[in-house]
Amino acid sequence: MTETKVQIIPAVLPQSFKDLQEHLAPLKDVIRLAQVDVVDGHYAKGKTWPYRDTATFEKIAKEERGLPFWDKIDFQFDLMIQHPDLVLKEYLDAGASHIVLHARSEGAQKALQLIVDLRTEEIGSFSVHGGIALGPNDQPDVLLPFEAQFDFVQVMGIDREGRQGEPFDKRALYLVERLRARYPKLPIQVDGGVTLQNARELVAAGATGLVVGSAIVKAEDPLAAYQEFVELVNQ
């Protein structure tokens, strides 16, 4: 797998397990981490897998089958759902290595505390990273209730969460700058509206990871698109 200073994380907004598998297939031998965008239809509009196919996900959570290419790829689940605390364990059981919780979802604080508690209880055997997502119009102080608990922050580059192909919201760039000033060593990801045109600007502002959806997974050649992002931000 390609080692990079700035991590490029392909994101899939899957309608089914098969959809997820097909989008990751061209990338499976080069990426370290993939993001699965999960929308429950309440926190954000529309429903994605696994809310469209709970039976398949239940088998994965019970370890009766695995996530696509689980032996090659780590998975980050972006939980755009109203009560992540009620379903968090299912995603942990499914094999998540990273969980993104949205600061304004009702159960975010409880879910993040659960990750912290599990890490304390299972020292050495629990390595899930918990992150908090902020909207482009949020202020850094939104993080205050979560401080000393999160491992990374994800800044949303779009205002309408749960969609791909949306234009980038410039307010996200300024938020990254302010977060970097406040948290000099914090891993900061940007998700939504990331393109080849703004990728280097986001890195210069302080982003250490870029979550890229349609610009990679919907490209004519996803592998070439991924490699172009990697080369661009790590020059």
pLDDT in tens, 144-195: 999 889 999 999 999 877 667 688 999 999 999 999 999 999 999 999 999 9
pLDDT for the residue numbered 214 = 93
Q: In degrees, to the nearest 5, what angle opens at C-alpha 107 toward C-alphas 13 and 84?
A: 35
Compute φ and ψ for 231, nearest 5 degrees. -65, -40
What the block records as the tokens of 101 is 């919780």
Claim: this prediction has a pTM higher than 0.85: yes
Residues 162, 46: contact at Cβ < 8 Å?
A: yes
Domain ranges of the chain: 7-136+145-233
Average pLDDT of every residue of the chain = 93
Q: pLDDT tens-digit profile of 97-113?
A: 999 999 999 999 999 99
In CATH terms, the superfamily for domain 7-136+145-233 is Aldolase class I (3.20.20.70)
- CA–CA distance, 229 with 200 (Å, rounded to integer): 9
Lowest mean pLDDT among 4-8, 77-81, 161-165: 161-165
